[in-house]
Amino acid sequence: MFNFLVTSTAGRWNQGFYEWEKGRILEYTEKGISDKLENLSDAELKTMTSYPCLFAYEGNTHAMKVGKITNFVLRKNTVLIEFELDPNLPEIPFNEIFPFFPLFDIRQWEMNRTHWAVKDGELPDILRERRLLSPDIQSPALSVIPEEFPSSEAIQISIQSLQEFINNVLNEPPAADVEIFYRGHSSRNEYKLEPSLFRKDTEGNLLYLTNEHLLYRELLVSNSADFEGDASTLDRLVRMQHYSMPTRLLDITSNPLIALFFACTAKDKENQVGEVVRFTVQRESVKYFDSDTASCVANLARLSNNEEIQYPENEEAALVFNFEATVEKFNDQNALRRLHHFVCEEKPYFAKRIRPDDLRRVLCVKGKKTNDRISSQSGAFLLFGDNAKLSEAGDDTYQITRYAITEKARMLRDLDALNINASTVFPYIENSAKYVAAKFRFKKTR
């Protein structure tokens, strides 16, 4: 294994430290590897930083450097690393290493995006075998003893009946200052707490994120009449989510039985263990459809891929000790001016003073009940900010509990007795017709 680190900022690999946004870590990383490291816990980061590193710049002209990570600091939205480049190892010219990209699992389009990948393969062996590094050169950076992958088994409560589920989720009433939301997954091993926009293929390639602004605009162009009643970008994203367009929204519900229905209903996963994820959120952290912060995060969807936002170095300290200057400088960049323009279309009074930490949050948002489906499913959303990441284990904002769901057919029968079925969860005449037809279809009895 080795780390492959790419930045767009010239000269940064000469400074000995770098601060990574969590959402940029493990991009272009094989799923089998990223699944073991995705929480970015201390143990997982220790594993990642025990591997040698190949340092690169965006583009196709800069030489690459070899080194190792010496320390890391885990922060709310970022991971700060300190590293050393080995002075005994020469830089590797781009034109010499480029022909061997497939051996390193470096994809050419990777060189157009700042990210931190973990690649399968032994970096020292590949470099020496391809004469990119002299076999006689020894280096501490290439002799690091890697850590073993940490155990990633999540603690779950096993549920086998509806009564057992109800007893668990209603075991004790929530505190007065919190709200509870739920999400159902038909397969606990397949689905993650990430919006469809952020999903990757099995090789770690981003499927949609780099074209988010095109997805947003193309659907508006082709179906403009459907969005005439929407007053904001958030309203449009909610409608797009309803029609299965990849967005930065993740559906959640305040009704645990709706989440249980979704954990059980997929026909092609009826034999897999499902799960219900419970989110406990402080009430003061819940936003509404008219929130200024939600407007700022939602309108990130309209920025093009080359309008990259630059965040302050050592952001947390800068906001504490030099708040005014930090916010002013942050807002005085072209990408933020564009974002101000989009938000002001909805809110002309907007003060154009966006906090950098607000743009990278995962917001819990209660949207307007713009369609029957949201109403019937008691729907709300998690709105993911710029390269935002929600740990599968939860964080300071979201306390997470997981329920492993088995006996799905039995669960669905019991839910149907409570009028939770495809006809009521998806309240359209087509779905109602299918449900009624299936319910009363002749079944041969013995």
Tokens of 382: 């998690």
Name the strand (E) or helix (H) holding 366. strand 362-366
First to last CA, the chain: 59
The tens-digit pLDDT sequence of the chain (446 residues) is: 899 999 999 899 999 999 999 999 999 999 889 988 888 989 899 999 999 999 999 998 899 999 999 999 998 889 999 999 988 888 999 999 999 999 999 987 899 999 999 999 888 888 888 888 877 777 777 777 778 777 655 557 899 999 999 999 888 777 889 999 999 999 988 889 999 999 999 888 999 999 999 999 999 999 999 899 899 999 999 999 988 899 999 999 999 999 999 999 888 888 899 999 999 999 999 999 999 999 999 999 999 988 999 998 888 888 888 999 999 999 999 999 999 999 999 999 999 899 999 999 999 999 877 666 555 556 799 999 999 999 888 888 999 999 999 999 999 999 999 999 888 887 655 555 555 556 556 666 65
Q: What is the pLDDT of residue 375?
A: 59
| DSSP-derived pairing of the beta strands 2-7 and 52-57 | parallel
Q: Which residues contact 171 (CB under 8 A, 6 or more apart)?
A: none
Tokens of 367: 């949207």
Q: What is the pLDDT of residue 435?
A: 54
State the Cα–Cα distance between residues 297 and 291, nearest whole angstrom: 10
Determine contact, residues 391/39, Cβ cutoff 8 Å: yes
Q: Structure pTM?
A: 0.84
State the Cα–Cα distance between residues 336 and 353, nearest whole angstrom: 9
State the Cα–Cα distance between residues 209 and 190, nearest whole angstrom: 20
- Give domain limits for the chain: 2-142, 157-439
Tokens of 416: 């149907």
